[in-house]
Chain A
């Protein structure tokens, strides 16, 4: 899946890329099991084609998009983003896709569309992890509309120049580089525009640990571990020093104004 060099500010980090091997075998995708090696092992049962995405709610042009029409909707770009997991590790991944804003503009949100809710596939036949009660399925995530419209918010179809491997959220997923990884919903089947703030799956599971915003923030610790530093996967082996975590994962210049005046300790 080829893509032109990303032109949006912040789209091309100069950090060294994580190896494709690490990025495709160390995954949190609980629909395929809770161990990080599980998705690579079990996601072969996911059928990324045919695939449709339902767009509904507060929009002028709701509809059902099939994958081919989404692939053609806007030119593909390559964007190299840092990915920071809430668990304290990070990667650098070249994604392929286009700004989610391209899709949003075409469906014409109404003035009532204050938030966007994303729903992932939940099919027991394809996803063995659904048998466990770790989360309430389906996986649901949400963004404020201005976050969803931000040019860095990527609707991704590929990585490392190829279509997404199943375990990384095929056939399409979000990538929000300034938020903890779990905000970037995988294998999306529904996008709903709503007036009220959606409740995401992780907030429902543990509200005191996973807030709605979940912006990367080294000053706000997770209740069970510090978020001040992170381990860059594949960097320097066992005894490598952790690196300091950056505010908004280093994308403060691009996204800081979205949260101007907000108490980020309260809105974690």
Chain B
């Protein structure tokens, strides 16, 4: 069968993807340890972890459209790992902010989150990711039932929009929207494709 020959099913594919996803962190740790993060290493680290959070979210959301459009069902087995990496980078981003920017002072952090809408947005995205990460293993899927599990994991859509809004807002005061626009365009395609498919399949169902 053709399926068995797909390189996506090769036993090394998953470990390879894992290593790729861990590369940004490895690079950041190495760069921080060898003083390669520029004049303001804390800021560089926090921002870079934020960038990789958004990238991992986009990659996770790209799996289903790619799988469908390119007819590569094997891609589905990578979605969980990508999603968990997104959660991992968002968590590191939050930790880096809390540690390097706020000195791990929980009172200061709580005050900052409550006071600043753009930080509240990012924080909300992380909180919403918690139940998704917590229900990412097979037993949880069984316990919840596939339909409820799928419904819960639709949270990834508002999460990605919150992450994007967090980034746009962070750049708003400096009118610097070039990078948020790129993520916005990618997300628009990934989410737009889902909307389109939903409405066209509804249309098809009505016709039938």
14 additional contacts (CB under 8 A) given A36-B39, A231-B43: A21-B39, A22-B39, A26-B39, A34-B176, A34-B178, A37-B38, A134-B174, A134-B176, A135-B175, A205-B174, A224-B118, A233-B39, A238-B37, A239-B99
Q: A-B contact count, CB below 8 Å?
A: 60
Q: Does B42 contact A (CB under 8 A)?
A: yes
Contact of A114 with B by CB under 8 A: no
Task: Give the number of chain A interface residues (Cβ < 8 Å).
Answer: 30
B interface residue numbers (CB < 8 A to A): 32, 35, 37-43, 45, 99-101, 103, 112, 115-116, 118, 169-170, 172-176, 178
A-side contacts of B99, CB under 8 Å:
239
B169 adjacent to A224 (CB under 8 Å): yes
Residues in A with CB closer than 8 Å to B178 are 34, 132
Also in contact, A237 and B41, with CB within 8 A (given A224-B116, A224-B169, A242-B103): yes
Q: Does the CB pair B175–A205 fall under 8 Å?
A: yes
Do B173 and A223 have beta carbons less than 8 Å apart?
Answer: yes
Say whether, besides A132-B178, A238-B100, A239-B100, A231 and B40 are in contact (CB < 8 Å).
yes
13 contacts across the A-B interface (CB closer than 8 A): A36-B38, A37-B38, A206-B173, A206-B174, A209-B173, A224-B116, A224-B169, A224-B170, A231-B40, A231-B42, A233-B40, A238-B32, A238-B100
> Which residues of A from 214 to 242 have beta carbons under 8 Å from B?
221-226, 231, 233-234, 237-239, 241-242
Taking the complex as formed, is A51 at the interface, i.e. its CB lies under 8 A from any CB of chain B?
Answer: no
Distance to closest chain B CB from A112 (angstroms): 33
Which 10 A-B pairs have CB atoms at the shortest separation, nearest pair first? A26-B39, A22-B39, A209-B173, A134-B175, A34-B176, A233-B39, A238-B41, A206-B173, A205-B175, A134-B176
A89 within 8 A of B: yes
Task: From the candidates A135, A205, A234, name the one contacting B39 in the complex (CB within 8 A).
Answer: A234
Select B174's contact among A21, A34, A242, beta carbons within 8 Å.
Answer: A34
Q: Which residues of A (4-37) have their CB < 8 Å from a CB of B?
A: 21-22, 25-26, 34, 36-37
Residue of A223, A224, A234 ringed by the most chain B CB atoms within 10 A: A224
Q: What residues of B have a CB within 8 angstroms of the CB of A34 in the complex?
A: 174, 176, 178
Tell me which of A206, A209, A210, A238 contacts B45 (CB under 8 A). Answer: A238
Q: Once bound together, how far apart are the Cα atoms of A234 and B100, in whole Å?
A: 14
Q: With A and B bound together, what is the CA distance between A2 and B139 in angstroms?
A: 73
A241 near B170: Cβ-Cβ < 8 Å: no
Cβ of A237: which chain B residues have Cβ within 8 Å of it? Answer: 35, 41
Complex formed: what's the CA distance from A223 to B99 in Å?
Answer: 21
A223 to B172, CA, bound (A): 11
Query: Which of B38, B118, B174 is within 8 Å of A25, CB to CB?
Result: B38
Residues of A within 8 A of B35 (CB): 237
Q: Nearest Cβ in chain A — how far from B147, in angstroms?
A: 40
Whether the Cβ atoms of B103 and A224 lie closer than 8 Å is: no
Closest to A85 in B: B40
B100–A25 CB distance below 8 A: no
- Shortest C-beta distance, B63 to chain A (Å), equals 31
The docked-state distance in angstroms from the alpha carbon of A89 to that of B118 is: 20
> For the complex, what is the distance from the CA of A238 to the CA of B101, rounded to whole Å?
10
On chain B, the residues within 8 Å of A238 by CB distance are: 32, 37, 41-42, 45, 100
Task: Kindly list chain B residues whose C-beta atoms are within 8 Å of the C-beta of A226.
Answer: 112
Contact B38 A206 (CB under 8 A): no
Q: Which residues of A contact B32 (CB under 8 A)?
A: 238
Residues B41 and A241 in contact, CB atoms below 8 Å apart: no
- Which A231-268 residues sit within 8 Å CB-CB of chain B? 231, 233-234, 237-239, 241-242
- The reply to whether B38 and A26 contact each other, CB–CB distance below 8 Å, is yes
**Hey, which chain B residues are within 8 Å of A234, CB to CB?**
39
How far is it, in angstroms, between the C-alpha of A60 and the C-alpha of B174 when the chains are bound?
Answer: 38
Tell me how far the C-beta of B171 lies from the nearest C-beta in chain A, rounded to whole angstroms.
9
Minimum Cβ distance to chain B for residue A203 (Å): 12
Q: Smallest CB-CB separation from A228: which chain B residue? A: B108
A26 contact from B40, B45, B112, Cβ within 8 A = B40
